[in-house]
Amino acid sequence: MRLLTFRHEGSDSIGALRGERVIPLTRAYASHLHSLGIASPFPLAQAQLPDDMLELLQAWERTQVAVQRAIEHVEARLSESGGPRGPMGERLLLPLSEIKPLAPIPRPGKLLCIGLNYSDHAAEIEMKKPERPILFSKYATCVIGPGDPVVLPTISNQVDYEAELGVVIGKTARKVAVENALEYVAGYTVFNDVSARDAQLGDGQWVRGKSFDTFAPMGPALVTRDEVPDPHNLNISLRLNGVVMQDSNTRHLIFDVNQLIAFLSQAITLEPGDVIATGTPSGVGMGRKPPVFLKPGDRMVIEIESVGVLESPVVAEEV
């Protein structure tokens, strides 16, 4: 499944991507219940299938079954004249052109990031491969969705891009064994760890330089674990204004997804909806000679095999 958070007619909802259309899940599940003869479909549907991605993931072991039922209900009715509709005439398929995709998890409880986790990236910035994962965090207020602009702050002139695989936690994880770690993953998304290098390196710690508003583009979808059987063999790339700047594969991760979840969960309880950004490969702007930093008018496109394509324009901060 490819799950979205989207805005339609002023309301935010969750949906499942089906080609160039979106199934609004709570609406579709209500229609499914109605087809079974269950009365008062909408309040009951909302009780069983929350219309919020974070709430959905907090009950993921139960709600993923309801999500599947909603999708099957719509797909079984695709041939209906005018498209499938619910018991009150509401549309059960919306064209992508009518919706605004948001970050799959607009406000994750924790946004945990890993530094120097590709050997080629460590080499390009002349740092040794770490002996254990290097952990830092970004604040949830910097999360933006597909197509939303990255805003260059006036106090930095060294803003950089970082293409990363994002891992979304699906159930509470505490002291997880490496061999069982993927059982705690709900799915994956595309992530851009935008960084103000001057603030990051000048502060003596990384949090401020990583957490400016708009510095965490994410999406467009949360792709469930069953659609990505091996997260450690995915091509990952970033194009800047059409030029390939990063081009690698997740098999080059120093610490893989299993190891990261196991390592983090020894100290930090991971909760549904938490996002782990797994690190970036070589090709970042800071590592180039001369350096390449973002400027107004730039456009970043990150593509991760089997996960999706995330586009982000770049604009100057209004003063």
Q: Find the domain containing 194 and state its range.
A: 103-316
What pLDDT band is residue 251 in, cutting at 50, 70 and 90? very high
Tokens of 227: 């659609």
Residue 170 has pLDDT above 70, yes or no: yes
Residue 17 has pLDDT above 60, yes or no: yes
Q: Kindly state whether residues 67 and 109 are assigned to the same domain.
A: no
Chain Cα centroid distance, residue 120: 24
Split at pLDDT 50, 70, 90, the class of 127 is confident
The residue whose two tokens read 């702050």 is: 153
State residue 253's pLDDT score: 96
Tell me, yes or no, whether 227 and 298 share the same domain: yes
Model pLDDT for residues 277-310, shown as the tens digit of each residue: 999 999 999 999 999 999 999 999 999 999 999 9
Mean pLDDT of 15-28: 95
Omega of the bond prior to 290 within 30 degrees of 0, cis?
yes
Same domain, 217 and 300: yes
pTM: 0.94
96 & 236 share domain: no
Average pLDDT value for residue range 172-189: 97
Q: How many domains does one find in the chain?
A: 2
Q: Is the pLDDT of residue 43 over 70?
A: no
Q: Verify that 11 and 114 share a domain, yes or no.
A: no
Q: For the residues 185-197, what does the mean pLDDT come to?
A: 98
The pLDDT of residue 36 is 86
Ramachandran angles phi, psi of 201, nearest 5°: -85, -25
**Residue in 138, 112, 302, 278 with CA at minimum distance from that of residue 212:** 138
Residue 103 burial (C-beta neighbours within 10 Å; 0-12, 13-18, 19+): buried
Mark which of 85, 101, 117 sits at the end of a domain.
101
Residue reference for tokens 């595309």? 190
Give the model's pLDDT for residue 207. Answer: 94
